[in-house]
């Protein structure tokens, strides 16, 4: 495997934002997740839960609700605006002011022709969904108090609206309230406290299910307006409900961090007289559960603790399989760390700023596992705050450390950095007009060019020098895909550029001729990282389903090593990992070594060694050294695993062959969260 001097970096204070709401699209198997900072993330549940798109947030954009209508995504928030998102250019497409104050909820009818929003001023506003925009239609009858929650009846004829102390049923055509359901207040000392109906569900048989701030889940008969059943599930709030597609199951998220399932089943053997029964309680969160989605096979939840949890329902999936495993998605599926290999610099990307750090130095040598004395401590050179309200969506640092670039949805900024004994940073004032808004940035290895992915998967090539920043060319493919490029990679010799988009396409461009060279055969899983080997000029790609491919750019075909790997198959322990590979680097001292990492381990693949058997064990290298020699020889295969470092944000190899490992322990993130409303005590 080789021995490296390791820079163990723990000063990247990455702090994910709380999950506010989510919406699941059963047609496309996409989950949209909105965070407290206004960012929206799209996860593909058909592709190993890969986070394929991120729409950056904006100051003041407090998203309270999300809604899918076919392939279109809408949100509403406390700024009083409805937003439709451009999922190709990863930005808001347009905003519409509802003129009702803050919006608490948004919901579409089953036909996808109308949107209803609940406003602070007590109105439910109906908007028609047109081909390109939405258009205001009418207000339903206004009532005193804000509208907190909404749900359409599947027939689209009625709307149930939750508010303070009551639920109202509106006729969607006339706008009149036809029923008023009074919600009981809590017992005891809090009897005088108002009860907020945080969430409602409206079923085909006119059953209404509500969750409120008194900790109750209540079942109502919407035709007669009578209460059928009350379940007191928590001493705190029931914040959110989600109903399964077949309406046989409902889940409720609480302030205690629990998710409770109710099922419409018979309590007797003869299967007659079905009723709603509390069946399961899931405890996967430490804080409020404010967002839920009920898929056909799983419960998806998120909240204040920032983690997205996918809990399979074991009566819907085969047990003891990968599909039945619990998943916790705590880190982004993209790299937020840039590394200047020649200069020993690290760039950390935050939504509101960039930090540039110079790595420290050690002295002496030691055995594997030893801590070397620090000669010079790491130093923060620059903290660069973004301009404007839009959050940073991508950034790049040149290999020499002399150039830094970042982009928001509205602008690109480029800086020249000079570092001797003191640091100086100068903004490049005149950028080509083509560099308006981009999805990814990448510098060439000699720092003479900047590549920026733009709309319709095109790439803008810009020459950078001390004198000027000059537009050179726009690279375009021929497939017609309009999906955004999420991966960019340039070869060390400056000849090749590889791009990958969320249509699973990988394009190779010849930078000497400034034209498309070839396209890698499309594989049905999205690439999570790509890299071009500095010696062989072969492209290594790893995909969301954990498959690995090697493609020869010169021969325009998969290499023999890649064909042998696919013929034999990857070992099951590799394929069952639940976090994607997010970065690839190479060892120039040993061209056979490929270094890649996910959240929980980094791996060195030695292409000169045989592949492991399908049922082989992936030993941690420190554990392997403790085994007898005979057993160690039997475990000699291409995949060398190291789990000595946890929650990895980046693993990269510097020019001096020292390894940079950027960690962000999950416990550090949890320690910065506010205290939960209920803390577990001994014997309670």
CATH of domain 523-668: 2.130.10.10
Task: Give residue 2's pLDDT band: very low, low, confident or very high (50, 70, 90).
Answer: low
Is the pLDDT score of 152 beyond 60? yes
As a whole number of angstroms, the distance between CA 422 and CA 453 comes to 33
Q: Are strands 72-77 and 63-69 parallel, antiparallel or unpaired?
A: antiparallel
As a whole number of angstroms, the distance between CA 164 and CA 589 comes to 68
Residues 8-60 have pLDDT tens digits of 999 999 999 999 999 999 999 999 999 999 999 999 999 999 999 999 999 98
Task: Give residue 658's pLDDT band: very low, low, confident or very high (50, 70, 90).
Answer: confident
Identical fold between 337-476 and 523-668? yes
Task: State residue 623's pLDDT score.
Answer: 65
Task: State residue 441's pLDDT score.
Answer: 95
Task: State residue 188's pLDDT score.
Answer: 47
Q: Residue 164 gets which letter from DSSP? A: B
Task: State residue 626's pLDDT score.
Answer: 64
Residues 352-384 have pLDDT tens digits of 999 999 998 877 676 666 677 677 788 999 999
Q: For 355-398, what is the HEC assignment?
A: EEEECCEECCCCCCCCCCCEEECCEEEEEEECCCCECCCEEEEC
- The pair of structure tokens assigned to 367 is 């055995």
As a whole number of angstroms, the distance between CA 97 and CA 257 comes to 34
Q: Please, which residues have CB within 8 angstroms of residue 109's CB and are 6 or more apart in sequence?
A: 116, 152, 156, 172
| Per-residue buried b or exposed e for 456-479, using 16+ beta carbons within 10 Å of the residue's own CB | bbbbbbbebeeeebeeeeebebee
**What is the average pLDDT score of the chain?**
90
Q: H or E segment at 508?
A: strand 506-510
Task: State residue 269's pLDDT score.
Answer: 63
Is the pLDDT score of 498 beyond 70? yes
- The pair of structure tokens assigned to 557 is 């075909």
Say if CB 469 and CB 428 are below 8 A apart.
yes
Task: State residue 620's pLDDT score.
Answer: 66
Q: Is 667 helix (H, G, I), strand (E, B) or coil?
A: helix
Q: Residue 567 gets which letter from DSSP? A: H
The residue assigned the tokens 């799209």 is 42
Task: Give residue 180's pLDDT band: very low, low, confident or very high (50, 70, 90).
Answer: very high
Q: Residue 671 gets which letter from DSSP? A: H
As a whole number of angstroms, the distance between CA 69 and CA 52 comes to 19
- pLDDT exceeding 90 applies to what percent of the chain? 73
DSSP-derived secondary structure for 387-437: PSSBPP-EEEE-TTS-EEEEE-SS-EEEEEEEESSSEEEEE-----TT-S-
The residue ranges of every structural domain in the chain are: 238-330, 337-476, 523-668
Say if CB 34 and CB 43 are below 8 A apart.
no
Residues 288-306 have pLDDT tens digits of 999 999 999 999 999 999 9
Say if CB 212 and CB 234 are below 8 A apart.
no
Residues 160-171 have pLDDT tens digits of 999 999 999 999
CATH of domain 337-476: 2.130.10.10
Q: Please, which residues have CB within 8 angstroms of residue 284's CB and are 6 or more apart in sequence?
A: 257, 259, 301, 309, 311, 326, 328
Residues 1-7, mean pLDDT to the nearest whole number: 74
Between 170 and 635, whose confidence is greater? 170
Q: Please, which residues have CB within 8 angstroms of residue 565's CB and are 6 or more apart in sequence?
A: 548, 550, 611
Tell me which residue of 375, 347, 371 sits closest to 361, measured CA to CA. 375
Q: Is 612 helix (H, G, I), strand (E, B) or coil?
A: coil
């Amino acid at each position: 495997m080789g021995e490296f001097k390791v820079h163990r970096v723990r000063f990247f204070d990455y702090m994910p934002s709380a999950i506010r709401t989510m919406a699941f699209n059963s047609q496309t198997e996409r989950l949209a997740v909105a965070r407290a900072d206004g960012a929206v993330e799209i996860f593909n549940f058909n592709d190993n839960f890969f986070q394929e798109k991120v729409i950056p947030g904006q100051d003041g954009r407090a998203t309270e609700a999300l809604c899918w209508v076919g392939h279109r995504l809408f949100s509403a928030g406390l700024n009083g605006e409805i937003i439709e998102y451009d999922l190709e250019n990863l930005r808001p497409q347009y905003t519409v002011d509802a003129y009702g104050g803050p919006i608490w909820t948004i919901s579409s009818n089953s036909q996808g022709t109308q949107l209803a929003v609940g406003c602070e001023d007590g109105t439910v506003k109906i908007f028609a969904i047109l081909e390109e925009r939405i258009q205001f239609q009418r207000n339903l009858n206004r009532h005193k108090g804000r509208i907190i929650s909404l749900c359409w009846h599947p027939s689209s004829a009625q709307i149930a609206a939750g508010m303070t102390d009551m639920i109202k049923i509106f006729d969607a055509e006339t706008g009149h309230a036809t029923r008023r359901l009074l919600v009981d207040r809590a017992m005891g000392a809090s009897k005088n406290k108002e009860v907020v109906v945080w969430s409602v569900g409206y079923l085909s048989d006119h059953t209404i299910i509500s969750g409120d701030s008194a900790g109750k889940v209540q079942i109502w008969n919407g035709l007669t307006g009578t209460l059928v059943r009350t379940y007191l599930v928590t001493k705190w709030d029931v914040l959110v409900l989600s109903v399964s597609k077949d309406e046989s199951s409902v889940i409720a998220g609480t302030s205690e961090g629990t998710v409770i399932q109710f099922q419409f089943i018979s309590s007797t053997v003869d299967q007659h007289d079905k009723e709603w029964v509390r069946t399961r309680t899931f405890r996967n969160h430490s804080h409020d559960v404010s967002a839920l989605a009920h898929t056909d096979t799983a419960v998806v939840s998120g909240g204040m603790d920032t983690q997205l949890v996918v809990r399979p329902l074991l009566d819907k999936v085969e047990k003891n399989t990968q599909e039945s495993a619990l998943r916790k998605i705590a880190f982004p599926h993209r790299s937020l760390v840039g590394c200047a290999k020649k200069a020993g610099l690290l760039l950390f990307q935050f939504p509101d700023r960039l930090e540039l750090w110079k790595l420290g130095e050690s002295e002496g040598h030691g055995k594997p596992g030893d801590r070397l004395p620090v000669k010079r401590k790491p130093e923060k050179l620059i903290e660069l705050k973004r301009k404007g309200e839009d959050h940073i969506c991508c950034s790049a640092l040149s290999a020499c450390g002399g150039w830094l670039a970042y982009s928001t949805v509205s602008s690109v900024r480029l800086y020249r950095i000079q570092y001797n004994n003191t640091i100086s940073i100068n903004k490049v004032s005149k950028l080509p007009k083509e560099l308006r808004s981009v999805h990814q940035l990448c510098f060439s290895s000699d720092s003479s060019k900047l590549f920026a992915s733009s709309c319709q998967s095109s790439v803008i090539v810009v020459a950078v020098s001390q004198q000027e920043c000059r537009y050179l060319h726009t690279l375009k493919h021929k497939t017609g895909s309009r999906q955004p490029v999420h991966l960019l990679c340039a070869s060390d010799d400056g000849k090749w550029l590889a791009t990958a988009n969320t249509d699973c396409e990988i394009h190779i461009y010849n930078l000497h001729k400034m034209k498309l060279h070839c396209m890698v055969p499309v594989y049905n899983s999205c690439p999570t990282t790509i890299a071009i080997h500095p010696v062989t000029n072969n492209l290594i790609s790893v995909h969301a389903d954990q498959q690995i491919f090697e493609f020869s750019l010169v021969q325009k075909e998969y290499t023999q090593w890649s064909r042998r790997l696919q013929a034999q198959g990857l070992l099951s322990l590799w394929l069952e990992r639940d976090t994607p590979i997010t970065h690839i680097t190479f060892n120039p001292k040993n061209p056979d070594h490929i270094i890649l990492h996910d959240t929980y381990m980094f791996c060195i693949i030695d292409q000169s060694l045989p592949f492991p058997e399908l049922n082989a064990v992936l030993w941690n290298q420190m554990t392997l050294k403790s085994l007898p020699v005979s057993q160690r020889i039997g475990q000699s295969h291409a995949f060398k695993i190291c789990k000595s470092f946890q929650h990895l944000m980046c693993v990269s190899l510097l020019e001096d062959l020292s390894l940079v490992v950027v960690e962000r322990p999950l416990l550090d993130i949890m320690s910065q969260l506010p205290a939960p409303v209920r803390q577990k005590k001994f014997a309670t």
